[in-house]
Amino acid sequence: QVQLVESGGGSVQAGGSLRLSCAVSGYTYSRNCIAWFRQGTEKEREGVAVIYMGGVITNYADSVKGRFTISQTDDKNIVYLQMNSLKPEDTGMYYCAAGIRCPQTVFDSQGYTYWGQGTQVTVSS
């Protein structure tokens, strides 16, 4: 049974940093594809970052490029999202998601089978 558990959210002032963690268990697909999504109040869920092909390839939403970094441990049991230079518009619930393989559009949320419960990130101005 695949389980994803997020942690590391919190409240921070604009310009600050947070590191989110996603603990992954029971996920053994060779074409691993794990992504971070976020959803702000009254906003649609949007993809933020994805890592796949054993961690060789990463993609980012334009809104976070240069500020966020996705990575995973060698055993692939933890996926991190390092968030720097945070802005108020980064506020939202952050979810970790895993798929059997990456969808053709990597930030298509419907292409991900497994989801965590989320961790809240609040950035104040």
The dihedral sign for the CA sequence 98, 99, 102, 108: negative
Alpha-carbon gap, residue 109 to 112, rounded angstroms: 6
Nearest to 48 by CA among 15, 7, 92: 92
**In this model, does residue 31 exceed pLDDT 80?**
no
User: Which segment, 2-16, 28-42, 99-113, is predicted with the most confidence on average?
Assistant: 2-16
Residue pointed to by tokens 């980012």: 60
Task: List Cβ neighbours of 56 (8 Å cut-off, separation of 6 or more).
Answer: none
Residue 63 in 3-state DSSP?
coil
Express each pLDDT in 58-85 by its tens digit: 999 999 999 999 999 988 899 999 999 9
**In this model, does residue 30 exceed pLDDT 70?**
no
What local confidence, expressed as pLDDT, does residue 23 receive? 96
Alpha-carbon gap, residue 5 to 89, rounded angstroms: 24
Burial class (CB in 10 A: 0-12, 13-18, 19+), 46: middle
